[in-house]
Structure formats: C-alpha cells, structure tokens
Structure 1
Amino acid sequence: MKPTSLSKLPVWLAVILTLIMVILVRESAVVICQLLGMAKAANVVGMVAMFLILITWRMVKGLPIWLTRASNILLVDSGFAFLPVSAGAGLLLFALGDELWGVILTMAISTLIPLWGLALLSNRWLSNTVDTDTKRKGQS
C-alpha cells in the first residue's frame, strides 16, 4: 500500500474522522432499522455494517494508517466508557432475588472454564518442552 497524503493526518483529525465515520454508520443503522420497524436492533445492525465496511475496505484497498492509529487511541482511552454499564449491571444483579446465585454461578463457570482452557493452551505454546502430541513413536 502506497502512503498517501491522508496517512500523514494529525492524530486529532484522524480521531475526529474516525468518530464521524462511526457516528454516520450507527445513525444510518438507526434510521434504517426504524423504517423497518426493528429499532432495537440498530446497534447490532450498525456494528455488523461497520464490520462489513471495514473488511471490504481492507480487502479492496487496505486500511489507512490514520484509521488504525485513531482506532487504537479511541479503544485505549474509551475504557472508562464501560464503567457506568458495569455499575448498572452490578446493581441489577441484586434485584434478581432468588436467581442471584444461579446467575453468579453461571457467570463464574462460563468465565473460568474458557480462562482455564486458554491457560492450558498458553502454557503448552509458551513452554520449551517437546510437544508430545506430534511426537512420533520411536523418536526421542
């Protein structure tokens, strides 16, 4: 991919352009979903549309450096955006009553089992020992 004049955009302009692109796709999804009578699906439709746009852009032309840099900045700095959602979910958990312990157990199991599997795979991948799965009989 040849560097273009757009690849030398200042960071602040790249962030603004990225935000404009995200807002346009999301608001277009809201309008389309409202016209189709399924307004609650707008966020998912917008997310899938943005994914398809970015995949197509990457396959056809390649993603510009400014978009990648701005996206990384937005992802790193937007970690605090999830705090209100987490706090609200925590408060709602206590409104479950008798179902609270079942929900907590389900969340713990569905989190711990994948983490345990990932830890096993990571340990195998990162270890310097011989992989016994691919080792043939008679070889040392």
Structure 2
Amino acid sequence: MDWIKTLDWKAWAGTIALIIIFREASVWLMGQFNHPELGNLVGLISLLIVLSLWRKFNKISVRLVDTNNKIMKESAFAFLPISAGSLLMLKHLGEEMPIFLVVLFISTLIPLWVYAKMSKKWL
C-alpha cells in the first residue's frame, strides 16, 4: 500500500481531466455537426495535435509524461474512447459500409505492401 502514498494524485487527476475534457468537448462539437460518434476520434486527434504543438514550443511536464506512461502501460483506458467511437461509427454507416470497408482495405493494404517492399530492399 506504499504506492498509494507515493502516487502523484494531482498529476493523475490533471491527466485524466485533460483526456475527459478533450473527449467531451469533441463529442459536443461533433454533435453540432450531427456526428457525435466521431467525437472520440476527433478528441484523440485534437489532444495529440495540442500536445505536439505544446511540445514544439514548451517542454511537456515530466509528471504528465509519467502519468501517461502508467496509464498506457497499466490499462487499456487510453484506447477505450477510440474503440467506442469506431464501433459507433460503424453502426451508423449503414449502406455506406461496403465503400468504407473497401477504402479501409485499400488504405491498409497499400501502405503495408510499400513497407514490405522497402523492408525487403533495405533490410
């Protein structure tokens, strides 16, 4: 139980609050465009962009990095919003599902094929 005493509660609360705020704001924003199912994806991408821009001009707090590493290592918490958003998006596609699957297949297959060719040539 010593880990409870040494846990950086403020960093944990701040990191989780940051994730929740970005997610909820993105769900609300995408709801304004009648696509709330894309909110999780938009939230994840916007958080990534904001943190990347922040890192370019300032240093990201070591406390935030450590807390994020623990979240990523210890649980699937960071992946739940994007998984839920993907499932909701697939549910709402309806008749567009075959087109989406073709685009997904091609956009996955071509980069993998190019990567395999590059690996075969350079490795």
Q: 1:60 and 1:73, CA in 2 relative to 1: closer, same or farther beyond 3 A?
A: same
Indicate the structure (1 or 2) with the bigger Cα radius of gyration: 1
Q: Is the helix fraction higher in 1 or 2?
A: 2
For structure 2, list consecutive stretches of 5 or more residues without a partner in the other structure.
1-5
Matching residue within 22, 25, 43 for 2:22: 25
For structure 1, list consecutive stretches of 5 or more residues without a partner in the other structure.
1-8, 128-140
**TM-score when scaled to structure 2?**
0.53
Alpha-carbon shift at residue 121 of structure 1 (Å): 1.8
Counterpart-to-counterpart distance in 1, 2:103 and 2:26: 33
Counterpart-to-counterpart distance in 2, 1:87 and 1:26: 15
Name the count of aligned residue pairs.
110
**TM-score when scaled to structure 1?**
0.49
**Seq. identity, %:** 24
The yes-or-no answer on 1:71 pairing with 2:38 is no
The AA in structure 1 aligned to 2:112 is L
The yes-or-no answer on 1:57 pairing with 2:54 is yes
Counterpart-to-counterpart distance in 1, 2:117 and 2:66: 33
What CA deviation, in whole Å up to 9, does each residue of 1:58-110 have, x standing for no partner? 23331122222322333442276227945984x788x65xx74x655543333
Q: 1:39 and 1:47, CA in 2 relative to 1: closer, same or farther beyond 3 A?
A: farther
Q: Secondary structure at the match of 1:63?
A: coil
Q: 1:11 and 1:30, CA in 2 relative to 1: closer, same or farther beyond 3 A?
A: same
